[in-house]
Structure 1
């Protein structure tokens, strides 16, 4: 049996909505972090697209990353297979999840992507060090702040099926949130800004799909304490692309765009790529720096002519399928997304008025327009607004740094209220419909409250006694809720995180000491009876 402390190399993986990447370092030289930049024939890129291309039956991966992106369409008619992308969004709780071709299972896509990415990771590690990958490598995988334990369980299963873990519950895979990883990486640069010990700073991670925020406090010994509940939403850079497609719908018709998406997705994807290359990545929000862009739709998406009808067809024939993107058109694509990000920052600031610095990281943070809007909105409220060099690598490097020195995170703020179900006597004012025939009622008993700052490895201990003298077992189910004061375990916002029971001795002290330990990435539940001793602990992923 190997121990987690046996690992020699840490690999940080940023599995993104639109782009993914990894970095690694050896414990013997922790300051030498290598970010992988050799993606097939594409070198010098920090990340590769989170895209897969399959065979006709969508069983076997034909290509992934950059080669899976759509190429410039040919004018002759040819068969197309829709690439599989944006599958990470299916792990979240968003209502309008992107459709995958033919009812494709997003878990297969995640597994296949990790398998292809894993081949590159294993090869890169093997070329540098002679180690056992499964026992001497620690993988730190970053996730959005919005993901729950179910999402982490699915990811762990996919990583295992992709042959990156020796066993399904391997301790060689750990999770941290994307903004937490970025905070770890940015901590030293904040010290260079002369940010004093005790000062707080906010990390705003703007990715392709999600934007995540967390507020941290700088502690002695280069450690971090979380001081507000993490927050986030689906308003990353890919949503600007969606606004571009809405713009096209007004020019060629919504039905035409839908038919292209359904039948010739590669051409639609190529149009979006060209928009990003020609417009999105260059847009600064300064009108004097903007030049109107002409999009030749018949070259970018020749199949559009087949689907464009009525007045849309006549107009586009009149303008020879050339569409102009003016300053206000592009600004209108960015503004709804950026406005949402600004609201998220305001909400975080509302819980911490003394924020001294704001760090902007993630791929979308490279947008000059986003940067200027944030500086304009918050420069009078926050002393330091910083965009680190290569912000797209902050999360990957931070994941490696976290794995090398987990104690860097001193405390977190609980995202959920934790509790268990207990039986007590029904009281006046309790709901009549919950009153049992024996005049008892089952209620939610709070153990730890949402928004509370809790140290890594801090323990919460409670003692429970069986309600009935005839009981031979005691249920010790663990529930989580977004409410601070839940009353019952079957409320809509409450869900079971762990369900199990423990044996009770027939005589003597039949009490149970119930202990929750909030580790860096796991919660451990222990139960102990003075006569029978400790029962087997239950472990599960901490909802970061």
Structure 2
């Protein structure tokens, strides 16, 4: 693996995972890169719940200033609830899903706290990153005498299925949090997990370390199922052999189904009053469910017991038109649901049904991927992420995809964090990726009457017949691209004589779009190239190179006359900012 090694100038690499449900960090020093440390335990306070990650929760005071993060934020808020002082405060949870599959994402996007009050999303993510950075620096000071924040290279994990705008949003939040842009790398979550699984010294190691071995990584977190497929190269590096894919099928689907089920039983009015007036009990219910759902296995049968706050039953009895027993009879659930004081007992069949939607969608997606011709040699599936540790997930995957070697590494929930640290030390470990879309830009093409409508015809500043808004394809969807190797736009390009030349970058789900105005095309960003350098075409000829393999898109523009070059990381948020 020597070809991928780098000494780097940073004393240590730290990774931050701002998850939908939980967040955390890990780090290792340059002189001992495989000794990766995590914060040993975030304490939930009164609950006997110790965790290597902490809930992704941000608490703001009435002046909209940051007060606390994680378990501390939840507990402080509950203490305010107890005193009846919580109303002007704000508690934000599970805000990361705003960035998933949000085509209109812009810098002004907002997220709602648990009572519906709004704040700019970028500020909430900034506060989360700043908190983790400060917590890390404080922890390091107890270990090392002289450590400067500038000695740290930060790796921030993002889902591979996110679009360019969402990745940029995360980077900008990190810069706002005070991290130096030159010391931030983004790591794709399933890719980081794949890198970590290369380190595992078990029988799995022999499987994955063989040259040519192909395996699928399924990263199941709180919000998303994020899937990528890798092949081991002869020099120990990895290449992606299928574009990243997945969907919003993480563990929070189970929580949402549980809450929806309670609403069906108790009614929307009861649950709304319960959440508002008995916030502490509501949080207790969610924490209880978080612990309980980890105990559900394929062998669970009979009735599963949940501790139910008495306040919920009381509110129902005061506000509902019929008793719970009547509701259960109406729903034909009297044999499967029972109440005894503060105990709710629910049949294993119903409990498992809360999991089934996310598991079915994930498993079916994996089956569809594995049925593709180029996936024939994939022999192993790695299940990682917090939800990846769920026994019901394992059972479904093993049952439906029995012909593959299914591996759940130890500490599957930390595989992404630890792999991201490894990636920071070994940035050359992944050599190629598969692009998800066709990428190109709008340009003035030579008018061709056989394929261009006459109304598209224009005359350019050099007096030639052209069509505007033509789609110039640089790379087609599903193409493997080498990281760090520029792809040259093959056609001759020229700066405009009369205006500052703008370049608009477009993506399309089609292989060969003709115009950037086609329905499948989306403007992902733009930048200015500058004014013409002279009067002749020869003086204004430019060469354009794209770098696709990195986690963010870069374009390099070279003036052929004098060899000067500009580099641009595409601003994928600007177009959406303008529309809001």
Q: TM-score range by the shorter chain?
A: 0.7 to 0.9
* 1:13 corresponds to: 16
Change (3 A) 1:109 1:260: farther
Q: Shift of residue 474 of structure 1?
A: 4.5
Instruction: Tell me the secondary structure at the aligned position of residue 428 of structure 2.
Output: helix
* 1:264 Cα deviation from its structure 2 partner: 4.7
Q: Work out which of the residue numbers 359, 370, 374 in structure 1 matches 2:393.
A: 370
Distance in 2 (CA, whole Å) between partners of 1:233 and 1:389 is: 24
Preserved CA contact (<8 Å) 2:8 2:425: no
Is residue 2:512 matched to residue 1:496? no
Task: Compute the RMSD of aligned alpha carbons.
Answer: 3.3
Q: Which residue of 1 aligns with 2:68?
A: 63
Distance 1:40 1:344 in 2: 36
Q: Per the alignment, do residues 154 and 470 of structure 1 end up closer, same or farther by CA in structure 2, a change over 3 Å counting?
A: closer
Number of the residue aligned with 1:128: 143
Match of 1:480 among 507, 516, 534: 507
1:457–1:377 distance in 2 versus 1, CA, 3 Å = same
The answer to whether structure 1 residue 184 and structure 2 residue 190 are counterparts is no
Structure-2 change in CA distance of 1:531 and 1:316 (3 Å): closer
Q: How does 1:3-152 map to 2 (within 5 A)?
A: 5-39=8-42, 45-55=51-61, 57=62, 59-69=64-74, 78-81=84-87, 83-93=91-101, 99-100=112-113, 101-129=116-144, 133-152=148-167
**2:474 counterpart (426, 447, 454):** 447
Deviations 1:503-543 (A, max 9, x none): 34324454221112335334332222332322322134899
Worse-superposed segment, 153-162 or 126-135: 126-135
CA contact (8 A) 2:437 2:507 kept: yes
Which of 252, 257, 274 lines up with 1:260 in the alignment? 274
Q: CA 1:214–1:307 in 2, change beyond 3 Å: closer, same or farther?
A: farther
**1:389-428 equivalent positions in 2, closer than 5 A:** 389-424=410-445, 425-428=447-450
Task: Give the 3-state SS of the residue equivalent to 1:500 in structure 2.
Answer: strand
SS of the residue aligned with 2:156?
strand
Residue 456 of structure 2, aligned match among 434, 438, 446: 434
Q: CA deviation at 1:432?
A: 5.0
1:505 aligns to what?
534
Are 1:198 and 1:217, in contact at CA under 8 Å, matched by a contact in 2? yes
Q: CA-to-partner distance for each residue in 1:14-64, whole Å, 9 max, x for gaps? A: 110000111101111112111122436769521011012332x26133332
**What is the match of residue 548 of structure 2?**
518
In the alignment, the residues of structure 2 paired with residue 415 and residue 286 of structure 1 have an alpha-carbon distance, to the nearest angstrom, of: 39
How far apart, CA to CA, are the structure 2 residues paired with 1:541 and 1:183? 29
- Tell me the TM-score normalized by structure 2: 0.83
Q: CA deviation at 1:255?
A: 2.9
Structure 1 residue matching 2:166: 3-state secondary structure: helix
Residues 260 and 522 of structure 1: is their aligned pair in 2 closer, same or farther, counting only changes over 3 Å?
same
For structure 1, the 5+ residue unaligned runs are: none
In the superposition, relative to structure 1, how do residues 539 and 79 fare at CA in structure 2: closer, same or farther (>3 Å)? Answer: closer
Partner of 1:173: 184
| Residue of structure 2 aligned with 1:311, choices 322, 325, 340 | 322
Please give the per-residue CA displacement for 1:368-421, whole angstroms capped at 9, x wherever unaligned.
1111111111122x1x11000010110011000000011111111112221121
Corresponding residue for 2:170? 155
Paired with 1:171 and 1:516, the residues of 2 have a C-alpha distance of 20
Alpha-carbon separation, structure 2, partners of 1:222 and 1:542: 33
Which string of whole-angstrom CA distances, capped at 9 and with x for unpartnered residues, describes residues 46-84 of structure 1? Answer: 1011012332x2613333211233698999894545621
Identify the range of structure 1 (419-428 vs 129-138) with the bigger mean alpha-carbon deviation.
Answer: 129-138
Under a length normalisation based on structure 1, what TM-score does the superposition of the two structures give? 0.88
> For residues 269 and 98 of structure 1, what CA distance do their matches in structure 2 show?
20
Counterpart contact for 1:236–1:364, Cα < 8 Å: yes
Q: State which drifts further: 26-35 or 530-539.
A: 530-539
After TM superposition, list the pairs within 5 Å mapping 1:268-307 onto structure 2.
Answer: 268-278=282-292, 280-288=293-301, 291-298=303-310, 301=312, 304-305=315-316
Does 2:257 correspond to 1:240? Answer: no
Q: Distance in 1 between matches of 2:571 and 2:156?
A: 13
**1:462 maps onto 2:489 in alignment:** yes
Distance 2:84 2:494 in 1: 71
Structure 1 contact 471–504 (Cα < 8 Å) conserved: no
With over 3 angstroms needed to count, the CA separation of the structure-2 counterparts of 1:123 and 1:40, relative to structure 1, is farther
TM-superposed CA distance for 1:434, in Å, is: 3.3
Bigger shift: residues 311-320 or 422-431: 311-320
Q: Report the CA distance shift for 1:316/1:104 in structure 2 as closer, same or farther (over 3 A).
A: farther
Q: How far 1:303 sits from its partner (Å)?
A: 6.8
Counterpart Cα distance in 2 of 1:67 and 1:261: 20
Residues 68-77 or 105-114, more deviating: 68-77
Distance in 1 between residues matched to 2:118 and 2:78, nearest whole Å: 27
Deviations for 1:269-305, whole angstroms, at most 9, x for unmatched residues?
3212112223x111002244x5431543415x46734
